[in-house]
Amino acid sequence: MSTVTVGMNAELNPAQRLHALGQSLWLDYEGLHATCVRQVQLVREAGVLSELPIHLSTLGIACAWIGDFAAAASLIMEAENVAAATGSRLAPFAALRLRGLQGREAEASPLLASAIELAAAKGGRGRAH
């Protein structure tokens, strides 16, 4: 397998380079936030309520990553309300991320159990209709 030298003589194989590229994209939190804001806007404009919870949840994760915990909590609540109104179940990934970043392990543990339960019940998918 070929390698590429990066930075301080670190050698990365193609799989490692791909992983590093993915990490760098996801570490652009402001870009992630902007993309998520646009996705929520498009879904709202299209009136596709069944898709709104997953996009609100993803925007909530982006807000949590940039430290806007109040916005993240508000988006999580909205995602939960829309999911309940549309009859869909949404894994609590955004709430789990928020509680984790806040260091609230006692509140994160039941969310983790819920996410695992939902994934097991739906074959590993985070959202069920």
Residue 88 falls inside a structural domain: yes
Residue 7 falls inside a structural domain: no
Give residue 26's pLDDT.
Answer: 59
Residue 122 falls inside a structural domain: yes
Structural domain span for residue 90: 29-128
Residue 102 falls inside a structural domain: yes
Q: pLDDT tens digits, residue range 60-107?
A: 999 999 999 999 999 999 999 999 999 988 889 999 999 999 999 999
Task: Quote the number of domains for the chain.
Answer: 1
Over residues 1-24, the mean pLDDT reads 58
Say how many C-beta atoms besides its own lie within 10 A of residue 6's C-beta. Answer: 12
Query: What separation in angstroms does the CA of 15 have from each of 7, 25, 114?
Result: 17, 16, 32
The full 3-state SS of 15-63, as one line of letters, equals: HHHHHHHHHHHHCCHHHHHHHHHHHHHHHHHHCCHHHHHHHHHHHHHHH
Residue 86 falls inside a structural domain: yes
Residue 109 falls inside a structural domain: yes
> Which pLDDT band, with edges at 50, 70 and 90, does 4 fall under?
very low
